[in-house]
Structure 1
Amino acid sequence: MKVVVIGGGPGGYVAAIRAAQLGGEVTLIEKEYLGGTCLNVGCIPTKSLLHSAELYEEAKEAAKYGVIINDIKIDFTKVQERKSAVTKQLVNGVKGLLAANKVKVVTGEASFVSKDKVEVKTENKSEIIKADKFIIATGSVPAKPPILGIDSEKCIDSTGALELKEIPKSIVIVGGGVIGIEIATLYNSLGSKVVVVEMLDEILPMMDGELTKIIRAKLAKKGVEIFTSSKVMSFKEAGENIEVSVQMKDNSIKVFSGDKALISIGRRTNTSSHSLDKAGIKHDRGKIIANDKMETNVPGIYAVGDCLGKIMLAHIASAQGEIAAENALGQNKEFDSKTNPSCVYTKPEFASVGLTEEAAKAQGVDYIVGKFPLAANGRSMIMGEDGMIKIIAGKKYKEVLGAHIVGPRATDMIGELSLAIGMEATIDEVIETIHAHPTVAEAIKEATLAVEKRAIHIPNR
């Protein structure tokens, strides 16, 4: 079985490896860099920079813990060098894994000629590759809205924000989604004056509203200015700065000035150059249409990850990549997004899985809620952190429907609750699982106990 995978990001390389494991003769075509956006200009470099920023902040606070550090400063060149080194190591790891699984890697851009052939344009030539099955994993690119002045070099996208040579004195961030808020966290921690402008009523609109307010308050306390229900009207260079004209919530116009303006209003599918129509692949303005088996309307052609235009997360792409590969090689698997966690690497971290309270209400779900403040958790207190864990359960059967965490290590802890949702675990099954002490994770049990007003370490009201 000859399988061609188009795109070498988290969806593509995982699909290629899984298809090879199942006996496929696999060719992976990647036009730029293995690892895709995530490894090269997304998840990994962002988190590397955020980790350096977090260490810098912790060093400044170390005296509270009896640790005296003199002359604390940031060497941004070394911060960037370490980011690049981490990225390079992980990309080389992907190359090694593909080689170990005997996946042939072709550097070039693929476009469909027919439903069983693609043309691959490499640096020196063009060739036709025929296959039995195709898996499209071409990812996404930053969206660029048609706003006056946006072509200024001082307007940068997320890639540009991760590659700055110097820490900006000030930055205006357009968009209060995950990318915008993580970049706001990064440069605020490094000393930049940060303004965030969001068109919707609240930042992080897909996350639980109650916990989002905690994150917003934390950012505000650190000096990040956030303006919601506000629309950017234009950009204009003014000497060394860029001026951002914004229509505020009250319809007044306010101008914000910064060294840079980050455009982070989301991403769009990267499918325009792949000649989908020549293979007869249905799409909605570039968003490929696939079923739960990850198969398009053309039998034998699958699509995964960001190119579907739905949930644009690396771990979703990887999960879909495995399913597509397995189905391409004769299995019958379906993708289910209910265990999909969403993570925001703020300070403290924010992680979520399953139904938010807003979604439960909108869907008419009969639910109950338990909450536990991390200020009452010993491990969090030791770390000088706080936050909250919130559990949403079905009222009749007490099954876990959603979980939301703001606090230290939230992104590491959410996996337990993804598993609980996937296994349709009840709150009693979570409660009866012994959690180690002292850990932040034991607060999961407390929040679950609180669903029935049984929490041990807070008064139950």
Structure 2
Amino acid sequence: MSDNTFDVIVVGGGPGGYVAAIRASQLGLRTALVEKAHLGGICLNWGCIPTKALLRSADVLRLIRNAKGFGIDVGQAKPDLEAIVKRSRDVAAQLQRGVSGLMKKHRVQVFNGHGRLNGPQRLSVTGEQGEQQLSAAHIILATGARARVLPGMEPDDQHFWTYREALVPKSIPKRLVIIGGGAIGIEFASFYHALGAHVSVVEMAERILPVEDQDISAHVAQSLTREGIHLYTGCAVKSSHVQQGSVQVQLQGKRQETLQADVVLVAAGIVGNVEDLGLEGTRVKVERSHVQVDEYCRTDEPGVYAIGDLAGAPWLAHKASHEAVTCVEKIAGKTPHPLNPLSVPACTYSHPQVASVGYTEAQACAAGKALNVGKFPFVANGKAIAMGATEGFVKVIFDADSGELLGAHMVGEEVTEMIQGYVIARGLETTEAELIDSILPHPTMSEAMHEAVLAAYERALHS
């Protein structure tokens, strides 16, 4: 085998790509990883991780501002934007170095450059060292996605931002309009509002966080509105233009008015990075900027696979990593279970946080299932009261006939750390009987998860 011949080549070093490379190496496959920018991809460098670092700073700021409620007087708290941004970038850099170390540990050969299919089982890599030709029986495309750009709102680092510009602001805009009320838009709304910006969110759907359970969306909307964030649902942007240093954003839909902003942040979805991959002349099918694959991430072109955001929804890092393992294990001749989209948890790290897995109540009803639904508020949970974290609730949905846990939805303090309990329960095909008999530690906020199950069967003990 020549130096440039491999068993597996992975194109893209994000949470799908680098995990695919690690798992392939673990299975004894000679593996190469091609990355044209930074290992870790968008998630680690410009998405999940640095965003959460910013949001953590906002959480600390809120906590300090509310310190008197805990009997502590710390004086007036104010954010240091430069230090907040630096910490976020330092966190991303630290983890990026960690991924580089993992590639060395697992003997994955990394090629820096742009990868492009160049015939069956062949890939050309163009970088600072010129063009190199690689070959492998299996080529996994993991090139991810980028922010959707709306006409007339192309990012200029001044008046119009995507998430990239929003992660490294030079100053806090006094007036910020966010286009898109999904997870990314709502997270940035929470961050910038905490730092003092006047924030407005414009969402085309009838509610923010439209993919979440309706009860969750409604609670988050009430919470954000109470904090002073302005929500414009059922609205689209008719036009936008800069006038005398500010952006005039004209809305159409349920509310027809003009918003004024110093900055407009576009968080209106993503577009798959399918360009210049050499897909022309192959059997690979692309639909709405995403590569079409089967349950094992195989395209219609023999030996070519696609994982992660490139392969479509849900556009989540942990989904990409799971697909990576499934894809590589299938290549290695193992028998992995195909990914079930309903078993992929979703988290929004706003204030309050949101976490969910499985069916929403509306989806379960639409599927014709008889339901038992339980809810339990954190205001009735002892640990939540002690922590001053009483906002929110836990909601669970069971099949009334079989006891199957169909879905779980949570809103409140650190619920993103709690949803894994329900994810595991669904994976084990747990019914209400096992969950009711489970003993959860006291005092913890996770007790609300048990009480919600009890509530679904009219057995709640503390509400």
TM-score (norm 2): 0.96
1:195 Cα shift?
0.4
- Kindly report which structure 2 residues correspond to 1:149-168, keeping only aligned pairs within 5 A, or say none: 150=154, 153-168=158-173
CA distance in 2, matches of 1:196, 1:234: 16
Q: Does the CA-based 8 Å contact 1:339-1:419 persist in structure 2?
A: no
Q: Does the CA-based 8 Å contact 1:352-1:414 persist in structure 2?
A: yes
From 259, 268, 274, the counterpart of 2:262? 259
Aligned AA for 2:69? K
From 345, 356, 365, the counterpart of 1:352? 356
Q: Does the CA-based 8 Å contact 2:237-2:252 persist in structure 1?
A: yes
CA distance in 2, matches of 1:217, 1:155: 27
Offset from partner CA, 1:241-275 (integer Å, 9 cap, x none): 2121111405x3x1111111001100010111101
CA distance in 2, matches of 1:226, 1:71: 29
Aligned AA for 1:335? L
Which ranges of structure 1 fall in alignment gaps of 5 or more residues? Answer: none
Partner of 1:306: 309
CA distance in 1, matches of 2:170, 2:150: 26
1:174 Cα shift?
0.6
Offset from partner CA, 1:100-119 (integer Å, 9 cap, x none): 00000111001111121011
Equivalent position SS for 1:310? coil
1:350 Cα shift?
0.6
Partner of 2:74: 69
Which ranges of structure 2 fall in alignment gaps of 5 or more residues? Answer: 1-5
Equivalent position SS for 2:407? strand
Partner of 1:370: 374
Partner of 2:271: 268
Aligned AA for 1:434? I
CA distance in 2, matches of 1:278, 1:255: 47
Partner of 2:298: 295
Equivalent position SS for 1:279? coil
Partner of 1:105: 110
Offset from partner CA, 1:258-316 (integer Å, 9 cap, x none): 11100110001011110112333222243111111111112322110000122110000
Alignment RMSD? 1.2
Structure 1 residue ranges, 4+ long, deviating more than 6 angstroms after superposition? none
Q: Does the CA-based 8 Å contact 1:282-1:297 persist in structure 2?
A: yes
Aligned AA for 2:268? I
Aligned AA for 1:142? A
How many pairs were matched up?
Answer: 455
Q: Does the CA-based 8 Å contact 2:177-2:199 persist in structure 1?
A: yes
Q: Does the CA-based 8 Å contact 1:300-1:328 persist in structure 2?
A: no
Q: Does the CA-based 8 Å contact 1:150-1:235 persist in structure 2?
A: no
- Distance change >3 Å, CA 327–CA 442, structure 1 → 2: same
Q: Does the CA-based 8 Å contact 2:65-2:76 persist in structure 1?
A: no
1:149 Cα shift?
5.2
Stretch of structure 1 that moved more, 108-117 or 148-157: 148-157
1:187 Cα shift?
0.4
- Distance change >3 Å, CA 85–CA 150, structure 1 → 2: closer
Q: Does the CA-based 8 Å contact 1:431-1:449 persist in structure 2?
A: yes
From 169, 183, 190, the counterpart of 1:178? 183
Identity over the aligned pairs, expressed in percent?
A: 38
Q: Does the CA-based 8 Å contact 1:2-1:25 persist in structure 2?
A: yes
Partner of 1:341: 345
CA distance in 2, matches of 1:351, 1:432: 24
Offset from partner CA, 1:383-425 (integer Å, 9 cap, x none): 2122110000001111111000011110000001011111110
From 57, 63, 77, the counterpart of 1:58? 63
Aligned AA for 1:72? A
Aligned AA for 2:259? F
Partner of 1:380: 384
CA distance in 2, matches of 1:218, 1:4: 47
CA distance in 2, matches of 1:246, 1:150: 18
Tell me if 1:220 matches 2:219: no
Q: Does the CA-based 8 Å contact 1:77-1:165 persist in structure 2?
A: yes
Aligned AA for 2:372? I
Tell me if 1:331 matches 2:334: yes
From 228, 232, 237, the counterpart of 2:237? 232
Partner of 1:116: 121
Aligned AA for 2:305? Y
Stretch of structure 1 that moved more, 122-131 or 6-15: 122-131
CA distance in 2, matches of 1:303, 1:317: 10
CA distance in 2, matches of 1:390, 1:192: 32
Partner of 2:322: 319
TM-score (norm 1): 0.97
Equivalent position SS for 1:391? strand
1:151 Cα shift?
5.7
CA distance in 2, matches of 1:439, 1:308: 38
From 409, 413, 419, the counterpart of 1:408? 413
Q: Does the CA-based 8 Å contact 1:198-1:231 persist in structure 2?
A: yes
1:346 Cα shift?
1.3
Equivalent position SS for 1:278? coil
Aligned AA for 1:413? M
- Distance change >3 Å, CA 179–CA 47, structure 1 → 2: same
CA distance in 2, matches of 1:224, 1:320: 37
Partner of 2:3: none
Equivalent position SS for 2:297? coil
CA distance in 1, matches of 2:123, 2:261: 45
From 23, 31, 45, the counterpart of 2:36? 31
Equivalent position SS for 2:374? strand
